[in-house]
Amino acid sequence: MAKDDSAPIILIVDDTPENLSLLSELLQPHYQVRAANSGRRALQVAASAPRPDLILLDVMMPEMDGYTVLGRLRDDPATAAIPVIFVTALDRSSDEERGLALGAVDYISKPIKPAVVLARVKAHLELKAARDWLQDRNAILEAEVARRLQENLLIQDVSIRALAHLAEIRDPETGNHLRRTQGYIRVLALHLRTHPRFAAFLTDHNIQALVKSAPLHDIGKVGIPDYILLKPGKLTPEECAIMQTHSRLGHDAIKLAERDADQPVEFLRLARDIAYYHHEKWDGSGYPVGLAGEAIPIPARLMALADVFDALVARRIYKEPLPFEQAVDVIRKGRGVHFDPAVVDAFLDHVDEFKAIAAHHADCEADSLAKLAQVSGLVTNNAQVGD
């Protein structure tokens, strides 16, 4: 009889009934004991729940010897970690070396000595218990690290959204603009990651960081006066010049956030490049620096197309939305002038995905009217304050 249900389980394997009986009588006062009289039966018992904590395995057996059984045990993930002690009449050092090389944890010679068997069994069960405890502890620690990492990522996402919505409060564009441009960026990045000019940068990690940072592209608009930001008509040249400073304001704000961080934050670096350079043009006629071609950072090249396309197809305080096909034509004509040709090609190859994103995150008419009313009120209030 087993000592109790919590006692370790030991599987003894031997084709000789007398040996099975001897080992069973020796071990049963201390452990739960199972027996198998062949290698094939041993494999079945070892794979059955509850699995043994230790196996005492005879080497010389018909049909399937102990070495073969051990090999099968190690090949099966369900039994690979069960410690195996060979119990055998073979006493050559080469036999012992072979067993240990195959993965046995110990070697007991026949005829067995009860005190030796009990001591070896006890020692290896304690080692297994310690190993299992460490594995469980590591699993708990890994789960905790994963939980905290997920929590940190969530905090990052919420912080990014909060900052982006701060700009949105003062800008007539809706929050769906952020979701749409994120979607457009993801489509472009995923379909350019095998392109020779983009593959080195557009790794899975960088794509994830790029999509995460995209909502901060216009964060600098919080520094633009309301009479310009919310103007329903065309801006004057002087007002345009002030509006264009939002790229530098966004860049500087994100750079300050990076400086306050204890260590480099990759998505902030990407957000800084996007905020600063997403109005640069492929032919060098953009702002704020006038970069051209490959000198424009890749994140900014992707956002340049995503932002312009969304501005074309969305309703803004100063314009009605452009029909989808006309917007596509504008992007097509900007190939090699406003936009990187490869980015335009990726866009044209996946226009349907852009259309689906635009439809899925379309601005609700009621929300748009409420937003227009809100910003109109802000303009009126600001005029009153200014007076």
Cβ proximity of 232 and 318 under 8 Å: yes
Cβ proximity of 383 and 226 under 8 Å: no
CA distance 135 to 75: 20
Residue 54 burial (CB count, 10 A):
25
- Which pLDDT belongs to residue 307? 94
Q: Nearest to residue 190, comparing CAs of 347, 326, 18?
A: 347
Rounded to 5, what percent of the chain is helix, strand, coil? 60, 5, 30
Domains of the chain: 9-140 (3.40.50.2300), 170-386 (1.10.3210.10)
- Which pLDDT belongs to residue 349? 96
- Which pLDDT belongs to residue 175? 62
CA distance 79 to 103: 12
CA distance 2 to 12: 14
CA distance 190 to 244: 30
Tokens, residue 22: 């001897």
Cβ proximity of 299 and 212 under 8 Å: no
| Angle at which helices 341-349 and 351-360 cross, to 10° | 70
- Which pLDDT belongs to residue 380? 35
- Which pLDDT belongs to residue 172? 53
Please report, in tens digits, the pLDDT of each residue of the chain (387 residues total): 445 678 999 999 999 999 999 999 999 999 999 999 999 999 999 999 999 999 999 998 988 999 999 999 999 999 999 999 999 877 666 777 887 888 899 988 888 899 999 999 999 999 999 988 988 888 888 888 888 877 777 766 766 766 666 666 666 555 688 889 999 999 999 999 999 999 999 999 999 999 988 888 988 988 888 888 888 888 999 999 999 999 999 999 888 888 877 777 777 889 999 999 999 999 999 999 999 999 999 999 999 999 999 999 988 777 788 999 999 999 999 999 999 999 999 999 999 999 999 999 887 653 443 444 443 443 333 332 232
CA distance 202 to 208: 9
What is this structure's pTM? 0.59
Q: Nearest to residue 300, comparing CAs of 330, 275, 333, 331?
A: 275
CA distance 74 to 71: 5
- Which pLDDT belongs to residue 3? 58
- Which pLDDT belongs to residue 377? 43
Q: Nearest to residue 345, comparing CAs of 149, 218, 187?
A: 187
Distance, C-alpha 201 to centroid of its chain: 17
Q: Is 345 exposed, middle or buried (0-12, 13-18, 19+ CB in 10 A)?
A: middle
Rg of the chain (C-alpha set): 35
Q: Which residues contact 14 (CB under 8 A, 6 or more apart)?
A: 20, 23, 35, 37, 58, 61, 87
User: What string of DSSP letters covers 272-298?
Assistant: HHHHHHTT--TTS--SSS---GGGS-H
